[in-house]
Amino acid sequence: MDGDTSAGPVLYDVEAKSGSYRPDPSSYDGSRPVLGFLNGRNGSVWWCNGTEFLYRVDPSILVVPDHEGLDLTHISALCSDHLGHIWFATPQGVFRHDASFLGSGKVYKASFPTDSRKPIVSMDVAVDGTLWAASFGNGLMGLHPDGRLEHYNAERGGIDPNVLSVKVRKDEVWASTLTGMVRVRNAKPESFASPGVGFMFMVMPMPDGTVLGATDGSGLVRWKNGQLNPISEEGPRTYYSVVSDGRGEVWAAGAATGLCQLGDTICIGADRPPFDGDLFTLTGIGNHLLVFGSTGCAAYDPETGYWVDLTERLGLEGVEAELNAVCHDDEGALWLACSKGLLRLTPAPWHFDARYEAVISDIRVGNSDVEVTPEIFTDFDRNSFTFRYTAPCYTEPSALRFEYRLVGLNNRAVMTREREVSYPALSPGSYTFEVRAFIGEDPMDAAWTSVRIHVAPPWWQRPWVVIGAVLLFAALVIWGIRARERHLLDIQRMEQEQVRFQLEALRSQVDPHFLFNSFNTLVDLIETDEKKAVDHVGDLSTFFRNILQVRDSALITVREELTLLRTYFALEQRRFGEAIQLEVQVPEEALQRQIVPLTLQLVVENAIKHNRASLEEPLMIQILTMDDYLIISNPVRERLSPPHSTGFGLSSIQKRYAALIKKQVEIGSSNGVFTVKIPLLT
C-alpha cells in the first residue's frame, strides 16, 4: 500500500479507529502483522493486517486512558495553564503533566486535600500560577506556587461548600454554588444569592466586567454592579454550559434545550444529537461551537448556521464525558475528560467540512455498461438507466448520504443512503442526472455532479400505431372494469355465503327436533335425577349463549371450539347415553391455533345424525391432530332410514376455508371410517 486515497477506489467495510495513546511502540498488539501502510492526504494513516477491515488512525486525535499507573477514565475536573501544563483531578488527587503527554514526561501531584466523597469538579489557573479548585462538599481552594493553601467553605469564609465551577479573571476568582455565585478578591469571599430557584452549574466572567451564570431553574443570570439578576424570562430555564464564540456572542446549552444564543434567546438543534440525550459540555474551537452529549458530538458554525456531526470522525461513539470538564491548552488543542480517558483534539478544517464530492462510478443502459462521460446518447429502445455513485469518505462512510434527481423527469431531489438508482423506460427526450454527497441532515452547499442523457425518439411514429395504442388502452380499460365487476361479484357471493352460514348454523341449533329432544331429555331427568336436570338446563343455556357469542367471529382458537363442542356433546350424551362417545387427543400447542367457529360442532352433529349408535355398538367419534390438520373420524354405520339432509353443513365448511387459505378441507370415507380433515390456521 502506498500513495494517497483522495481519489482512490470505493472502500467497503471500513472500520475507523480513533487515535490511541501508546508511549511505547512495542505495545502494539502483534497477534496479526501489519501488511502495509498508507498516508492519507488529510494526515491520517491507514493500515491493513489481512482481515476484512482497513484500520485508520487520525493524528489529530489523542486518547490517554492511563499514565504512570494513573487511571484517567475517571477525571472529574480539567484545566490548563500558560506554561503548557494540563491539570486534572481524579479520585486519587490533583495532578499536572505536560500538554504533550510524551512518554518521557512525569506526573506531578499537587498537595490538595482529597476526599472521594467530596470530589473536585472544576479547576482554573490564575496568571500568578495559583491553582483554584472547586469541590462539591469541601468548598473553594486555592494552591499558590509557594505551597500555601487558601480554603473557603462554610466555616472559613461563610460560603456554600458545594461549589460547582470556578473561573479566574485578573485578580478575581468567581465560583458557582448550590445557592448562587461567589467572588474572592484580596482573599475576601463575597456571596451573591441566586435570584430564583435552582443551583448554578457554571460561571463565566465577561470582558465588560459582568459575570454570567448557567442555572438550573432560572436560565442564564448576570452579575453586574453587585446584583445578580435573570437575563431573560424567555427560553429554557436550565443550562449546563455557557461560552462565548469568536465574535463575542454568548451561547448556552442544557439538557434538550438545543443551542441557545443570548439576546433574543433563539434556540436551535433541540431535536438532533447530541441534545436528544444527556448533555456533557459546550465549548468553542476556532470558529465553531462543539457540543458533547451521550448521543454524540456535533459542531455548529454560527456564521453559516451549518451543523456537522463529529461523532464518528472523532471516534466518540458511546463516550461519556464529565460535566464541563473541558479546556484549551496554549497551542489551541482541546482537552476533554471522558470515559475513554483524557482526550486531546486538534481538529483540522476538513473535520468540520460536511461537503463531499460525489462521483458517478458506473452507468448501465439497458443490459450493458457504458463509459461514464458528461453526455450520453441512446436509442428509444435502450431507455432504461441505472446510475451507481459514491464519494471518497473514509472517516465515517456509514454516515454518508446522497441527494439525487433527474431533471427533465422530476426535479424533486430525493435523499438516500443507497448508492444506486434506476430509471426504467424513460420517454424520448433530454434529461440531466444530478447527485451530491453529504453527511448529516442538510446537504448545505454541496456541489452537484451531473451527466446529460439523450433518448432519441422512434422513427416509426405513425397514425396506425397511435390508433392501435388507443384501442389497446380501451380494451384494457374494459377488461379492467369487467375484472373489477367479477371481483365485486365474488366478494358479494362470499358475503352471502357468510350470512347463509351464520343463519343456517343458528337455525340448525334451534331446530325443533333438537329442542324437542333436549326438552324430552330434560323431562326424563327431572323425574329421575334432579341434579342432572339442573346441569342439563345449565349446559343448554351455556350452549346457546356461546353460539350467539362466536357466530359473528371469523376465527376462534381450537381451545374455544372444543369448549363449544364439549357443551354440545354433553347435551347429546344425556340423550343417547354411552351409545355415543367422544375422544379428543389434541396437544397443547395445537389448542392455540385457530379454526372457523362451529366447524367441529357441525362435523360431530353430522356424524350423530347419519350413523347408528347403541350401547352394544357405541358410536366413537375421535378428534386428533396430524401435520397441521385437525382430524375428526367416526365409523360408518348408515341408518336404515337416512334422515333428511340440507347438504349445507360440510360443503359450507369447505367454502369458508377455501376463502381463507389454499389448503382444502378434506372429506372422505375409507375402510369403513368417515374422516374430515380441517386445516389449522395460525
| Residue 318, pLDDT score | 83
- DSSP character at residue 497: H
- CATH homologous superfamily of 491-679 equals Histidine kinase-like ATPase, C-terminal domain (3.30.565.10)
Output 402-405 pairs: Cβ under 8 A, ≥24 positions apart: 402/358, 402/435, 402/436, 402/437, 402/438, 403/435, 403/436, 403/438, 403/443, 403/446, 404/433, 404/434, 404/435, 404/436, 405/433, 405/434
Summarize pLDDT for 363-398 with one digit per residue, the tens.
Answer: 999 999 999 999 999 998 899 999 999 988 766 677
Architecture (CATH level 2) of domain 356-455: Sandwich (2.60)
Position 27 scores a pLDDT of 37
Cα Rg of the chain (Å, integer): 41
How far apart are the C-alpha atoms of 654 and 656, rounded to whole Å?
6
Query: For the chain (length 682 residues), average pLDDT per consecutive 10?
Result: 34 34 40 76 75 77 87 94 91 87 75 87 94 95 93 92 95 94 94 86 94 92 92 88 88 91 85 90 92 92 86 83 92 91 87 84 94 93 93 75 93 92 92 90 83 86 70 89 82 65 50 60 68 75 77 84 88 86 93 90 88 90 93 90 68 80 88 93 85
For 597-606, give one letter per residue: b (16+ CB within 10 A) or e: bbbbbbbbbb
| Res 490: pLDDT | 67
Model pLDDT for residues 408-459, shown as the tens digit of each residue: 998 899 999 999 999 999 998 899 999 999 877 777 778 899 999 999 888 7
The pLDDT value recorded for residue 504 is 54
pLDDT of 400: 85
What is the pLDDT at residue 319?
86
Check: pTM over 0.95? Answer yes or no: no
Topology match between the domains 356-455 and 491-679: no
User: Domain residue spans in the chain?
Assistant: 14-59, 356-455, 491-679
pLDDT digit string (tens) for 89-110?
999 999 998 877 765 567 889 9
Cα-Cα-Cα-Cα torsion 154, 156, 161, 164, nearest 10 degrees, comes to 140
